Structure 1
Amino acid sequence: MEAFCRKELPLSEELSFASQYDRRFSKNVLDNVHGTINLDPLSLKFIDTEQFQRLRDLKQLGLTYMVYPGAVHSRFEHSLGVYWLAGEAVQKLQTYQGLELGIDHFDFQTVKIAGLLHDMGHGPFSHLFESAFLPRVLNGVKWSHEEMSVRMVEYIIDEHNIEIDPQSLKRVKEMILNSSETVATKSMREKQFLYDIVANGRNGIDVDKFDYIVRDCRACGMGCNFQFQRLMETMRVLGDQICYRAKDYLTVHKLFATRADLHRTVYTHAKVKVVWLELHVLFQAIELMLVDALLEANNCLGISSHVDNPSEYWKLDDTILKTIETSSIPELAQAKNIVLRIRRRDLYQFCNEYAVPKNQLDHFKDVTPQDIVCAQKTSKVSLREEDVAVSNVRIDLTRGRHNPLESIKFYKDYVSEDSFSIQDHRISHLLPASYQDMIVRVYSKKPELVEAVSDAFENFQLKTYGTIPQVHGTPKKKCRD
């Protein structure tokens, strides 16, 4: 009966936002997650450009399809999904709180376009390009896909003469950057709750996650019992912030827990499900090899030089892998050899991993190949840094070591006017007491050096923590897929 207490617009005053444009100039597409998605005329002006169509050639999960064959979905379909969910979110708020919030067609259109264009700045191979490749070649220069998304939006508008209200464009760009901007900047905005729909830097709950969590789980064959529809139906704005019913806090927690599972590449515990561990280390070996291939090809192909210019950047996509693989240019021979090793499953060999103790997470520094090499004892072979690859894996629930529920506002029921946070002592004892993992994985680039690298890694852990890393599987032998 609670739902009947929500404030709805009188039927004579309620106006469907979707009906405010001529349907002759719109299109419907059938999405395998959300069903029919209606694309309005303004969105089609952006979609029907070569820059937006580039998203078809960017796989949402990068190279994950080499381990999970079904993970071939693209950022194109994800962007359409976020566009649709952004519009649905505003429509829900307008239906139940339209009068008090002052939501209008301008708001509706702006949030949808922000959802559509939020990933325009992503590079090839998902986040690997930004987090692993660019830091190695930009020499400390700060770069983010959110900022590049804004630059790409500006470029598309200028290149294709798209007419868009200047104030709407300003808000679209702010919404794309919202997850990284300061609290002080956000506090100056009118209707701040609208800015949190696509990219929520305030508490991490946004339609971007709603879409990719469901879409990625489906593609990887992983069951997903997170129901974003429940949160969409009951969300409410209090104090210029989107709040959720207190009774739904477990659904909110499931959002972050499912996201963490995806980051762990769907394995739950190495002792129980060894197959998931093997899939994860295989995937990381492939990623480490791809980064090495891109580094080898960078000078010849000028990959990093594209990131400063939107007119060149949009030409970068996942097909660069095929360019390297099929090239006959001598300068690309080393990069080509690495790509062929990936194709032939001649991968870097997993040696061992180490879970950083909980009490040392705050002061942990990334382990480097140099650390491993320097820890080598006398051996028949002498390791070099280029023989070792290290992956420092951080997994959390979006708030580091803190409970994500503490940054989210809840309300008791639909007639409540106050919001509150749910503290640790008020949540179910079945939920985890720790919210962050840090795992160090070490690989040998050459099969004959697996034993030497493993021994050096064990010695490093003895010197650093006084313990030997626990062996998973058979670390000194080839990890097979």
Structure 2
Amino acid sequence: MKTTSSLERTANCADNNDDMDSWKSWDEDAVIQKLKENDISESVVAAFSNVRIKGRCLKSLNFYKLMTQLHLSYAECVEVKNFLVNIGCWPTPSIGNNKIFNDPIHGSIQLHPVCLAVIDTPQFQRLRYVKQLGLCYFVYPGAAHNRFEHSLGVCHLAGQFIRTLKDNQPELGIDDNDVLCLELAGLCHDLGHGPFSHVFDSRFIPKVKNRAWKHETASKDMFTYLVDLHGLMKEDGIFRKFGLTEDDMQFVKELMAGPEKLNRGNSWWPYKGRHNAKAYLYEIVANKRNCIDVDKWDYIARDCHQLGIRNNFDHSRFTKFARVIDVHGEMQICVRDKEIVNLYNMFSTRYLLHKIAYQHTVNCALDIMVEQALIKADKHIRIIGKDGKKLKISECINDMAAYTHLTDNILFKILDTEKSEDESDKRSPEESQAELEAARNIIQRIFNRDLFKCIHESQPLSPSDLQGLDEDEIKQQILKYCRTVVTENDLFVAIVNLDFGMKGENPVEKLNTYSKHKPNAAKHLPKEETSRILAPYSFKEQLVRIYVCNRRDETKIKAIKEAYDKWFTDYQFKLKENRESYQTEHEERQRSLSKLNKP
């Protein structure tokens, strides 16, 4: 009787998500009957008959309990485990069901069978053919890594982080489903990246579709598509086998793409996947509060390794010092106060990566060329989507069957397409062919390293210096000031934004801290209290770059340079006049108000 009581007490703490499983309703006789039906050895059946275990207690069984309380041999324990696995109530997968990947950044990574089921789909394997840094490997030969290995790394770090919180603060009630959902979200967060990553979602799609679009939306759509396509959430699917529910699926999507638009009306808690008591879970994979998350940790470490740049941030140290604390009624991840300097190292490293690699002048030239090639080829290339429908490149974002086939290899498809595939084009064949040929010529120039040339880069500017001017507006101003014949196709303007990931804000100040002697008291730590040397006072700068298409036309290059210098000088003069005029008007209003207020 004591043994049964012990098992029942443990079972009461079992995962509530398993209510759907029939074994929970079995009584003692039903358990014995099921053992017999599955040809379990007589000695095991006899042991269960003596102890009399109910179905709801099966979840709590492990080898230790089977050996000490039911006095089973190791071979008999394996027999019971296999039975429990078959009915879906074995608490954790064995090491044999996992796989271990050797990663150059994190060492040996062990992945859950649920994650392996996702990895083995064509939708995830597609990430092998999407470069993490686009065409940056044309500048840095080592930057040839892909979104595939980055996603494995984020999955690993997400699991590592949540397990550390679970071990350090068991009172939080973090369960196995929380851990698995975080790992799934980390694994799938980049499923929606298109060819050449941010060139596709930040430059190509907005210009073709004339609206903003984020790859996170496609990540959510692709995740939904692959789960449905491969039956992962069916009754016999592997997601169900490991206890994942519809709420968990909602949770994973929210971790990747944020709350649904229809649910944003609740300003306090817009999420459906988890209660606000677990708000901190939403800060691990994609942290909207302060941008300190495992996605950033992996790409900083991985990109530095591949680029040959030193990484000064230690993410494992941050993980060990992280604590969940109630901050004005919301559970947030906080960190020890002395670790703030470590975080400034992280954002400084991120700035350095953007400055010398991601936004390298040659890399930006390549981005512009890929963008222009995709725009010109969009109407003429067709990708096969759902039900055999032929879609333009830009239309694939609405059809995940087509999006599965859209990778960096699109450049080779454009090169190999000699005739437009647009059957609805009403223009003359010559006009249509000329546009496709222009796209092919740009791509051929990339492979011949006949690249657009950066002829000017401004000094670092504050956002107020440009007053919200965009690239096209600056381009039009330069054309107005040109004294020789220069067309729109002769030059491109690129505005490079360099910041700490939150535009002009300081993300570190959005993270609360705790002290050694008050580990459960969150405190806001201003940057002045951290360091007057290490903490910067400006968190965004902009660079204006001018690129020319024909690097050998010295006449046009000289004319464009002179036009930009003349425009920028006049623009700054007018800006200064406007500021002085505003200051004068402001001072006059203040004097007038002072006179009115005098008795």
* TM-score, with length taken from structure 1: 0.86
> Residue 224 in 1 paired to residue 308 in 2?
no
- Pairing partner for 2:568 from 439, 461, 470: 461
> Residue 73 in 1 paired to residue 145 in 2?
yes
Query: What pairs with 1:257-336 in structure 2 (closer than 5 Å)?
Result: 257-266=348-357, 280-301=360-381, 302-329=392-419, 331=433, 332-336=436-440
Query: What pairs with 1:380-419 in structure 2 (closer than 5 Å)?
Result: 382-413=485-516, 415-419=518-522
1:473 maps to none
1:225 offset after TM fit, Å? 1.5
| Greater mean alpha carbon deviation, residues 214-223 or residues 363-372 | 363-372
> Residue 190 in 1 paired to residue 190 in 2?
no
| Greater mean alpha carbon deviation, residues 46-55 or residues 188-197 | 188-197
| Alignment CA distance shift 1:387-1:266 (3 Å) | closer
Which secondary structure state, in structure 2, belongs to the residue aligned with residue 153 of structure 1?
helix
In structure 2, how many angstroms separate the alpha carbons of the residues matched to 1:119 and 1:184?
A: 28
> Residue 242 in 1 paired to residue 333 in 2?
yes
**CA-to-aligned-CA distance 1:174-207 (integer Å, 9 cap, x gap):** 1112399866345863301111110000111100
| Alignment CA distance shift 1:241-1:144 (3 Å) | same
1:129 offset after TM fit, Å? 0.6
1:259 offset after TM fit, Å? 1.0
In structure 1, how many angstroms separate the alpha carbons of the residues matched to 2:564 and 2:355?
A: 22
1:362 offset after TM fit, Å? 7.8
- Pairing partner for 2:530 from 421, 424, 427: 427
Indicate conservation of the 8 Å contact 1:186/1:192, yes or no: no
Indicate conservation of the 8 Å contact 1:179/1:201, yes or no: no
| Alignment CA distance shift 1:316-1:22 (3 Å) | same
| Alignment CA distance shift 1:355-1:184 (3 Å) | farther
- One-letter code aligned to 2:286: A
Indicate conservation of the 8 Å contact 2:136/2:357, yes or no: no
1:212 maps to 299
- Pairing partner for 2:231 from 146, 150, 161: 161
In structure 2, how many angstroms separate the alpha carbons of the residues matched to 1:180 and 1:284?
A: 33
**CA-to-aligned-CA distance 1:67-96 (integer Å, 9 cap, x gap):** 001001111000000000000001100111
Structure showing greater Rg: 2
| Alignment CA distance shift 1:175-1:446 (3 Å) | same
Indicate conservation of the 8 Å contact 1:90/1:108, yes or no: yes
In structure 2, how many angstroms separate the alpha carbons of the residues matched to 1:441 and 1:371?
A: 14
1:36 maps to 108
| Alignment CA distance shift 1:343-1:401 (3 Å) | same
1:414 offset after TM fit, Å? 6.2
In structure 2, how many angstroms separate the alpha carbons of the residues matched to 1:402 and 1:26?
A: 42
In structure 1, how many angstroms separate the alpha carbons of the residues matched to 2:153 and 2:357?
A: 22
**CA-to-aligned-CA distance 1:297-343 (integer Å, 9 cap, x gap):** 11111210111111111111001112223433363321111111111
Which secondary structure state, in structure 1, belongs to the residue aligned with residue 277 of structure 2?
coil
| Greater mean alpha carbon deviation, residues 213-222 or residues 258-267 | 258-267
Indicate conservation of the 8 Å contact 1:405/1:421, yes or no: no
Indicate conservation of the 8 Å contact 1:178/1:196, yes or no: no
| Alignment CA distance shift 1:50-1:266 (3 Å) | closer
2:190 maps to 119
Q: Percent identity?
A: 36
Q: Which runs of 5+ in 2 are unaligned?
A: 1-12, 14-59, 63-89, 234-238, 240-244, 382-391, 421-432, 575-599
Indicate conservation of the 8 Å contact 1:178/1:200, yes or no: no
1:406 offset after TM fit, Å? 1.4
| Greater mean alpha carbon deviation, residues 42-51 or residues 317-326 | 317-326
In structure 2, how many angstroms separate the alpha carbons of the residues matched to 1:437 and 1:19?
A: 51
Indicate conservation of the 8 Å contact 2:509/2:526, yes or no: yes
- One-letter code aligned to 1:191: K
The CA RMSD measured in Å over matched residues stands at 2.3
Query: What pairs with 1:49-198 in structure 2 (closer than 5 Å)?
Result: 49-98=121-170, 100-140=171-211, 142-163=212-233, 164=239, 165-178=245-258, 184-186=268-270, 189-198=276-285
In structure 1, how many angstroms separate the alpha carbons of the residues matched to 2:138 and 2:404?
A: 24
- Pairing partner for 1:253 from 323, 340, 344: 344
1:415 offset after TM fit, Å? 4.3
| Greater mean alpha carbon deviation, residues 66-75 or residues 447-456 | 447-456
In structure 1, how many angstroms separate the alpha carbons of the residues matched to 2:140 and 2:463?
A: 34
Indicate conservation of the 8 Å contact 2:354/2:360, yes or no: no
In structure 1, how many angstroms separate the alpha carbons of the residues matched to 2:269 and 2:323?
A: 23
| Alignment CA distance shift 1:101-1:362 (3 Å) | farther
* TM-score, with length taken from structure 2: 0.70
Indicate conservation of the 8 Å contact 2:202/2:214, yes or no: no
In structure 1, how many angstroms separate the alpha carbons of the residues matched to 2:259 and 2:568?
A: 36
In structure 1, how many angstroms separate the alpha carbons of the residues matched to 2:269 and 2:415?
A: 46
**CA-to-aligned-CA distance 1:37-69 (integer Å, 9 cap, x gap):** 112111111111000000000111111001001
Indicate conservation of the 8 Å contact 1:179/1:199, yes or no: no
1:394 offset after TM fit, Å? 0.7
Which secondary structure state, in structure 1, belongs to the residue aligned with residue 544 of structure 2?
strand
| Alignment CA distance shift 1:139-1:367 (3 Å) | closer
Which secondary structure state, in structure 2, belongs to the residue aligned with residue 124 of structure 1?
coil
- Pairing partner for 1:358 from 426, 438, 462: 462
In structure 2, how many angstroms separate the alpha carbons of the residues matched to 1:180 and 1:289?
A: 35
In structure 2, how many angstroms separate the alpha carbons of the residues matched to 1:305 and 1:218?
A: 36
In structure 2, how many angstroms separate the alpha carbons of the residues matched to 1:359 and 1:52?
A: 39
Q: Which runs of 5+ in 1 are unaligned?
A: 1-12, 268-278, 468-481
In structure 2, how many angstroms separate the alpha carbons of the residues matched to 1:220 and 1:339?
A: 24
In structure 2, how many angstroms separate the alpha carbons of the residues matched to 1:179 and 1:106?
A: 19
> Residue 371 in 1 paired to residue 463 in 2?
no
- One-letter code aligned to 1:73: H
| Alignment CA distance shift 1:33-1:148 (3 Å) | same
| Alignment CA distance shift 1:280-1:328 (3 Å) | same
1:355 offset after TM fit, Å? 3.4
